Structures are given as structure tokens and as C-alpha cells.
Amino acid sequence: MLHKITEKTLRNGLKLVYLNKPQAPIVATQVWYKVGSICERDGIRGISHVLEHMMFRGSDNYRSEQHAQMINEVGGNCNAFTTEDVTAYINSVPRDSLDLVLALEADRMDRLTLDPDLFETERKVIIEEYHTYLNNPVAKAVLEFREEFFRGHPYAISPLGTLNDLNSMTVEDLRQYYSNWYSPDNAVLVIVGDFDEDVIEDKVERIFGEKKQRNIEKRQLEFGDHLYAPANRMVHKVKFDVPILMVGYPAPPSSNKDAIALEILQMVVSGGESSRIHKEIVRKESLAVMAGGINNLLKRAGMSMFFAAFTPDIPVRKIEAALKMQINRIRNEGINAQEMEKVKNTVLTNHTFELYSAENICHRIGFSECIEGNYSLWVKRLNTLKNIDTGELTEIARNYWKNESCHVLYLKPEKTNLFLFAAGLFRRFFKRAFGRD
């Protein structure tokens, strides 16, 4: 199916990528702008996200919130999100409503109203959103961890921005930012679903063709390569009852050829109950209650992260040593053929199930095009995976998962429940003495 994906770049630079998928009478449309928190400077941290909110607050031809309301009126759903690298607008509608979506998206591409009163209201909404994160002790600690991990790089500050900047930002800042970054040559329009492919290019040309470009490409070149902050160890006392340890290693940008290799390694170490850390740390040694990992691959840098949740009677140094031992085993011994087979099957299964949903396909195309550099990288991922040499993986693990560049965050509960502590010690003693729980 994916070989039928077609692309066309309009004269104004807007890239259209589309795929006809007629199995359900719906169509998913997403507009991805290559602007995210990485494009921000001090004083306007969080502005990409603020602008994302304001994109629903009216343009020349539609009043505030009318976009969402019109999509709802045809039975569709719309949403948006902002990351470090992109801001994306999502619309999924019954097939007959594609023209409506295109008209709505075209209007806000260059005709956003940015009304000062509505901005003041929306600022309050965003500050409420900010507080939702502040009130989650783990989310807050993770934000602080990444701030340290990416220190000196724009990725250090999350797309939510800072409260100071959210409070001081002006509507003029927004206008400037909108004018700088919202341009057809900085956007990718992805359409997947049940539509007439014979006319889609003409239709998009008719609706978006007159939009003027602003030559964003040149501005993007100003970003340099990221130099990772030196390894660091943080202990956060949190109002949370479960001790958690996180370790983070530098990872390549998502467009780097090593990214897929690291994805494989990550899956072997931490993917599911057959993973190495689950088998060793959770099951065999009973040190952690849960353990896992995730690769946070961004456009210009990344973080390869592992974590373990454990009981208060386990010394954190043991958890750290156990996690690192599994990582070092990969660095020293690599992975075996069975593990490689598992990764291939898992990736193929995930890929197969993604293809049932027009919105998922749309997202994968948008992500791959804007973050990894080209949507074909997603399409060809399975072939790339098949050709990876397991020996090469060991080398890649050695390059990225180095002890000297490992950041550690320990979320230490403010108070320890003495009863649970004693119960944990008893359990461990029992296990040692009798070899079972």
C-alpha cells in the first residue's frame, strides 16, 4: 500500500504527501509546520505552543473556535500538538468534508487574526495547562532532568516554555513569530484516506497555491550541532511513594543512520517482559518492580533513557549498577540472533497495525518527513532493519551508551514508610534463604 504514497511540492514550497486508502469513508489531513520550541529564544520560551493555541482563535474568514466547531459539525475531530521541532494540526473527517478541512487550514496558514483580547484569555488557558504538569511530581522531575541533560541547547526547555515568558509574551511577539515561521515552504500537508486522487493535486493547488512563501529554509540553518552537557547525577526529593531511577545517554538525531540501530538496541534492553532488564532486574534478581526504557529521538539530538521503579528497601546504587550492567553487556557482547528476530517481528507487527488507521499513517508520514528528514525513511524502515548487521550494533552501543556521558536522576520519596521498608527487607531475606518469594 505504501508504495502508492505520492508527493508534490507546490511552487510556493508547500509539500503535499498523500495516500489513497479507501477502506473506511474517512480522510485524515494533517499540516505539519517545521517550527517548535527549538526555534525560540529567551523571552519568548513557549511561544510555538502559544501560537498553536491561537491557531484555533480565529482567522480572516472564521471566528474564534469556529475551526473546531465546523469540524465537529461534520462528525470530525481536530487537535494539534507542539514539540521541540514541529507544530502539527490534525483533522480527521468523513470523506465528504475534505474540502472543508483544506479551506480551514489554508485560511489560518497566513490569515491568522491574533486578537489581543483573545490572546489574553488564551494565555490564561496555557498557564492552566502549565500547572497541570507542575502538579505531577514525576512529570516535573522529568522536565528538570531533560533541562540538565540538554543544558546549553534549546531542547533544554520543554515546549511548554517558562512561566516568566508566558506571562511577559506580547501579541506583537506572536505576530512576528507567526510571520517568521508559518509559511507554505515551511509546511507539509499530509492527506490519507478515502478521496479522489485524480483531483487532489489540483484541489490543493487551487486552495493553497496562492499562499506566499517566506524562505524559511535559510533561517533554519542557524542551528548548530548539539554538544551534550557533561554527565550529571541528580537526586530529587519528591512527594511520591515509589522510588524511581532514570538513566539517560546521548542519542543521535532521528535523521542519523544510527537512530534505527539504537531503536533496536533499546528494544532488546527494555522492550517487554522478554527484555534483558525485565528478565534480570525484575524477574531474576527481584530488584525492581517495573523497568523499561524509551528513545526520545528529536530532530537534532536525542536521549536514550532507561528507568526502574523499586521498593524503598532496595539501595538505589544496586538498581543503578544492575541497569548499567545490562547496558554494558550489550556494549561488550552485542545482541543475539533471537533478539534481532524479536525486534524485526515487533517492528513489523507495530507497522502492520498502524496501517489500519488513516490518522496513524498520516502521523507517521508527517513525523518522518519533518523530523527524520523524509517520509520514505518510514516506508523503508523494515528493509533498513533487515539489512542491519548485528556486529554493527555493538559498535553503535559503545559509541552512545558510555558511562562517562550517562546522566542519572533518582526520584527519592520524601518520606519512607517504615512498615513497607521492613516488609521489603523481610521479603528479600526470605528469598535469599529459601530461593523463592
Partner 1 sequence: MQRVCFVDSLKELLEGIDLEQKYRFPPVDEYSLENGLKVILLPDREQDGLLITLQLPFGKFSDICGKEGISELTLNLLQKGSGKYTAEEISDKLENRGVSIFSDVSEEFMRIGIRMLSKFVDEIFPVFWEMVYKPEFDKSEYNRLMREMVTALKAEIVDPHIIASHHFYKQLAGSQHPAGRFVSQDTLKKINFTDVVSFYRESFRPQNSTLVVAGNFVPRDFKNKWNKLLLEWKGNGRSQVCYASSIEPDRKAIRLIDKPDLTQTTIIAGHPVLGEVNPLRNQIILANYILGGGNFSSRLMAKIRSVCGKTYGVNSQIISEREFGVFRIATSTQNNHVGEVMAIIMEVFQEFCEHGIEEEELEKAKKFITGNMAFQLEGISNLVEKILWLQYLERPYSYLENFNELISEISLDSVNSAIKKTFFYEKLTVVTVGKRVEIEEDLKKFGTVKNYFYRNKIKD
How are beta strands 77-82 and 244-251 bridged, if at all? unpaired
| Distance of alpha carbon 192 from alpha carbon 132, whole angstroms | 33
Encoded one letter per residue, x for contact with partner 1 by CB under 8 A and - for no contact, window 64-93 reads xx--xxx-xxxxxx--------------xx
Q: How far is the CB of 65 from partner 1 (least distance, A)?
A: 5
Residues 105-164 that bind partner 1 (CB under 8 A): 120-129, 131-132, 134-137
3-state SS, residue 189: strand
Residues 1-40 that bind partner 1 (CB under 8 A): 23-26
| Distance of alpha carbon 200 from alpha carbon 155, whole angstroms | 37
Q: How far is the CB of 285 from partner 1 (least distance, A)?
A: 12
Q: How far is the CB of 140 from partner 1 (least distance, A)?
A: 11
Interface residue with partner 1, options 224, 225, 338, 383 (CB under 8 A): 338
Residue 389 carries which DSSP code? -
With respect to partner 1, which residue has the nearer C-beta, 77 or 170? 77
10 Å CB burial of residue 96 (0-12, 13-18, 19+) is: middle
Nearest to 149 by CA among 82, 254, 246, 249: 249
3-state SS, residue 306: strand
With respect to partner 1, which residue has the nearer C-beta, 94 or 373? 94
With respect to partner 1, which residue has the nearer C-beta, 256 or 313? 313
| Distance of alpha carbon 264 from alpha carbon 267, whole angstroms | 5
CB 320 within 8 A of CB 245: yes
With respect to partner 1, which residue has the nearer C-beta, 220 or 336? 336
Residues 266-305 that bind partner 1 (CB under 8 A): 271-274, 278-279, 282-283, 286, 289-290
With respect to partner 1, which residue has the nearer C-beta, 100 or 379? 100
Residues in binding contact with partner 1, number by CB under 8 A: 78
10 Å CB burial of residue 423 (0-12, 13-18, 19+) is: middle
416 binds partner 1 (CB under 8 A): no
With respect to partner 1, which residue has the nearer C-beta, 77 or 403? 77
Q: How far is the CB of 185 from partner 1 (least distance, A)?
A: 23
With respect to partner 1, which residue has the nearer C-beta, 25 or 43? 25
Tracing cell 545482541 back to the chain, one arrives at 335
Q: How far is the CB of 330 from partner 1 (least distance, A)?
A: 17
| Distance of alpha carbon 254 from alpha carbon 29, whole angstroms | 24
Which residues make Cβ contacts (< 8 Å) with residue 377, sequence separation at least 6? 255, 368, 384
Interface residue with partner 1, options 4, 9, 11, 103 (CB under 8 A): 103
3-state SS, residue 12: coil
Nearest to 298 by CA among 263, 266, 251, 233: 251
Indicate the helix (H) or strand (E) that contains 110.
Answer: helix 98-110
Q: How far is the CB of 72 from partner 1 (least distance, A)?
A: 5
Interface residue with partner 1, options 34, 211, 342, 363 (CB under 8 A): 342
Residues 221-260 that bind partner 1 (CB under 8 A): 239-242
Q: How far is the CB of 420 from partner 1 (least distance, A)?
A: 8
Residue type, 209: G
Q: How far is the CB of 423 from partner 1 (least distance, A)?
A: 10
At residue 389's C-alpha, the angle toward residues 388 and 390, to 5°, is 115
Q: How far is the CB of 182 from partner 1 (least distance, A)?
A: 19
With respect to partner 1, which residue has the nearer C-beta, 42 or 65? 65
Q: How far is the CB of 97 from partner 1 (least distance, A)?
A: 6
Residues 374-403 that bind partner 1 (CB under 8 A): none
CA atoms within 13 A on the CB side of 83: 16
